[in-house]
Structure 1
């Protein structure tokens, strides 16, 4: 979303996948898109089935959720939520149950949404949670959305980055067994990931000279080689190489002290060496609702920072706040990217999608 020269509001089309049909995905969609602010800032398109949506809508009578059904992405309503019909099946939905049906239809939704993203029919994608086991098939042999999107867009690499109001934490290795982490800690991997982060911080978040912190792999960042040597042999040389390329990269820092002492507040992003090293402090310290962003894609994809939550699926208890934040963040990044492209030729005042949405609300209330 951005303001053009005539000050007309440009609303991007945001695709939304249904996720695992037995999880909380569709409930989150209904709750989030019942928020009237969404239609002020984007044109939402849900990739799902009419009967699947209605299954959950009936159990959420307090939410005013109406939509326009279409099978043609060139004929979208700008005043309603749009449902792009991916199937007409009467799916046997079983909230909270892990089965093949949940994974099969999650993939159908994802496949069609990604095709629309690649074709430029939608400008951003928000993915509802999938279960990494039951979605596995010949077509989807990945550990999650991030590597799938990497292959679909045929890019060399991407970065899983968790984003909140007060911090951004990326991970060098994603969903791999802990015993395999060390073999992926290489100079090449570190430098490639940080270059992607650096570019994303500039183009997607509007930070001209981003400062990036790098965590060590071992306790106390190796204690000068006493507790492992990855810091001395790999991480420090990688940081040196990046500094030589004029990137503001610092570390390696001992992960426990780095977060406990609030050092993350001095940086625009942090690169953790593995999943839990980054996500545990992120989910503990993040202010506001955190979201997951895939940096390095030519397109924009966000998601909430949680999973399918089978334990509360179908009970109306799912909190849509992170999902709503993922939609706002997708719109905000679209606006920032456009502003970055136009900045030299046409400098404009940067305006957050969240701020703009609030401004529109206030105007309507007047």
Structure 2
């Protein structure tokens, strides 16, 4: 039987005062990952070895000068600084933010030059990473800017649920004014494309949530469902997509109706992520759809409150690594089955290449 080539995964360190490095070590403490993955961590090899001893993780860690030198069976580390890192566990600091930025930038550069196949990002502190070089709300917006892509969709995915968010990192008071028929159509289309191409789900079933309680109760609690969301759903149906809604979010998740759909499009961040994390926390993965590259991350943050205490769990980062490889393989398969063997047109748009 044909065995696929191992996926070379670039992993950014995240905030060095948070749980990112501990999660990386504990993720690969499951030796089965090395059968299909070649992990390349961007940070400092000796620091990672010291932390492996601190967190009682017996694993081989090799320093490499270049990601292309990565060998199977070990965590390979590209040193982005000559000196060992001494974490100030749980404490936000601009120096930690700068280290996280440099790790991310180095990993992205290697991804762009195809030295790694996919990107997995450990959590950053969105405040301390801010600088002249990084003026973005988070990883998603940074990568969209690097790729020159206007529309990307944050998808939280697990074995039981996939949720996309229309407005993302937007203040709650600005959500209603940020929603439009066109925006819903664009993001639903992105979700549909991603479910087909990235998750291998042909003709996916998508549920669209309402904005207001009880999806507006026919206009009694708000007009957005009648004037914006329902017309968008109808337009998507007319385009041939299998879309239903708008659904009231509480009843939709409380009744288990989400199990009938391949993907859910929520109107705002907490509407989608609270039920997702309630159902899948520690096992979920954050995936950025719409990019020409594959990027995933764990479904948690820096967790400063437990950093350095040995209490972090690597399960979500492990799932992020597996999903990144799976999505790459799905994209490769999708590209093969959709190519025209008689004429190969010049690639354009989202599939034009990397950064």
TM-score range, shorter chain: over 0.9
Shift of 1:78: 2.6
Q: How many angstroms apart in 2 are the aligned matches of 1:336 and 1:272? A: 25
Q: How many angstroms apart in 1 are the aligned matches of 2:8 and 2:154? A: 23
Give the counterpart of 2:170 among 171, 176, 181.
176
Shift of 1:136: 0.7
Shift of 1:111: 0.5
Give the counterpart of 1:31 among 23, 26, 29.
26
State the secondary structure of the residue aligned to 1:10.
Answer: coil
Confirm or deny that 1:148 pairs with 2:154.
no
Partner of 1:116: 110
Contact 1:258 1:264 in 2 (8 A): yes
Shift of 1:63: 1.2
Give the counterpart of 2:314 among 320, 336, 340.
320
Q: How many angstroms apart in 2 are the aligned matches of 1:69 and 1:52? A: 11
Shift of 1:165: 0.7
Contact 1:165 1:288 in 2 (8 A): no
Partner of 1:296: 290
Q: How many angstroms apart in 2 are the aligned matches of 1:58 and 1:74? A: 27
Partner of 2:11: 16
Give the counterpart of 2:197 among 203, 221, 224.
203
Partner of 1:127: 121
Q: How many angstroms apart in 1 are the aligned matches of 2:151 and 2:47? A: 34
Q: How many angstroms apart in 1 are the aligned matches of 2:166 and 2:338? A: 33
Higher mean C-alpha deviation, range 76-85 or range 216-225: 76-85
Confirm or deny that 1:105 pairs with 2:66.
no
Q: Structure 1 length normalisation: TM-score?
A: 0.89
Give the counterpart of 2:59 among 50, 61, 65.
65
What whole-Å deviation, never above 9, does each CA across 1:78-109 have from its counterpart, x for those lacking one?
A: 33221111111343420111111221101010
Higher mean C-alpha deviation, range 148-157 or range 280-289: 280-289
Q: How many angstroms apart in 2 are the aligned matches of 1:322 and 1:100? A: 26
Q: Which runs of 5+ in 2 are unaligned?
A: 340-355
Q: How many angstroms apart in 2 are the aligned matches of 1:287 and 1:92? A: 29
- Deviating runs (4+, > 4 A) in structure 1? none
Shift of 1:344: 6.1
In the comparison of the two structures, how many residue pairs are matched? 340
CA gap of 1:24–1:288, structure 2 versus 1, over 3 A, is: closer
What whole-Å deviation, never above 9, does each CA across 1:214-271 have from its counterpart, x for those lacking one?
A: 0000111111111111111111111111111111111000011111111111110000
Q: Structure 2 length normalisation: TM-score?
A: 0.92
